[in-house]
Amino acid sequence: MNLELSAGQRAARAEFRAFAAAEIAPHADAWDRAEEIPRELVGRLRELGYLGSNVSPEYGGLGRDMIAYGLLTEEIAKGCSSVRSLLTVHDMVAHALARWGSRELRERYLPRMARAEVLGALALSEPNVGSDAKSVETAAVDDGDAWVLNGRKKWTTFGQIAGLFLTFAHVGGQPTAFLVERESPGLTVKPLRGIVGTRASMLAELIFEDCRIPKAQLVGRVGFAISHVVATALDQGRYSVAWGAVGIAQACLEASRAYAAERHQFGVPIADHQLIRAMLTDMIVDVRAARLLCLRAGSLRQSGDPGAFMETMAAKYFASRVATRSANDAVQIHGANGLTEDYPVARYLRDARVTEIIEGSTQIQQITIPLFEFQEL
């Protein structure tokens, strides 16, 4: 397997890096404090084709290759994980829709998602349901020409500004997916504030009260939401989060390297102290290893290999833990300064913790990865 970047991928990475350094990283702390990103930024992401870039050219998308897609995610996350999470959820919905939506749904929504005229968000988690997705309490009932939804969704990333929610409900106990437009009668969107990590990801709670949607908004078939639609969306989400975690770890490394070189204690830069170097060494090696796992997953995804599911999960599991370890050490290297808003490393730590919880927690990966491994014994 060749994991070297092509000339085109290197050029794309340079473009993503320059954009994130100029237009994202300098503002990330302010967005974090404000708990929102500006609408103008969404406009810039749209203009540059960074949202929905995984949509096939058949629907007006760029159909960006999996490796370039990963590089985009890493560079955006290095600047701001909240912005990365916008790419994650929008692209998850687009991916699941492209995979399991009817022709009618694909033709109606994918061109608009490719142009980011409408933002997608995933409505899966509920007040009482996290990892145990098959137990969603939101219910959908067949009512002649419509589906009627009742229930509550929580932690919907970018729910505050999304226009389209890939929503999971049960139909008589069978998990089923629906595409719900924000303007649907009976849907109320309430902003959620005060989250600790990815604070600018504009979370929302969704309340469905006799929310009526047309029959055609069904995604996949009744009963196939978990095995296929959720599985597809979360697989895409894990790929995005894995690369995003690499971005956080890389940001930690760069911040720590700079700080260790300029900060003097005992008459020398702290980088000269061996215990600081040990932490830097772990970061350097961890981030390389995590990136290699992401590249391997990306390569398998690009070729449509069935093994891509397991490799993506492994990449997400490892990279998210690397992000947390690296951010923890980055704060340690920064000492008291690391606990202030004067340096970004405290934000990196808060954001890293999120990557171990979303799109399947670390513990869910620990349960599932061995199952994949034992499948073939």
Partner 1 sequence: MDETQTKIKQFLSRFFKSHDLQPSEDIFALGFVNSLLAMQLVAFVEKEFGISVQDDDLDLDNFRSIDAISQLIARKSGAAA
Binding residues for partner 1 (CB under 8 A): 100-102, 219-221, 224, 226-228, 231-232, 235, 303-309, 368, 371-372, 375-377
Q: Is 359 a catalytic residue?
A: yes
CB of 236 to partner 1, least distance (A): 12
Alpha carbon separation from 248 to 18, 20, 217, 245, 295 (Å, rounded): 17, 13, 36, 5, 16
CB nearer partner 1, residue 20 or residue 92: 92
- Residue 184 has phi, psi (to 5 degrees) of -60, 135
Name the catalytic one among 341, 359, 373, 376.
359
As a whole number of angstroms, the distance between CA 315 and CA 309 comes to 10
Tell me if 299 sits within 8 A of 66, measured CB to CB.
Answer: yes
Question: Which residue spans within 237-280 are E strands per DSSP?
Answer: 264-265, 268-269
The 3-state DSSP composition of the chain as helix, strand, coil percent (nearest 5) reads 60, 15, 25
Nearer to partner 1, 100 or 208 (CB): 100
Closest approach, Cβ 113 to partner 1, in A, equals 17
In the complex, least distance from residue 184 CB atom to partner 1, rounded to whole angstroms: 21
Nearer to partner 1, 55 or 219 (CB): 219
Pairing of strands 174-181, 187-191: unpaired
In the bound complex, what is the minimum distance in angstroms from residue 92's beta carbon to partner 1? Answer: 15
Nearer to partner 1, 210 or 305 (CB): 305
E strands along 52-194, which residues? Answer: 120-123, 139-143, 146-156, 164-171, 174-181, 187-191
Nearer to partner 1, 190 or 221 (CB): 221
- Identify which of 321, 329, 257 has the alpha carbon closest to the alpha carbon of residue 289: 321
Write down the least CB distance from residue 303 to partner 1, Å: 7
* Catalytic center residues: 359
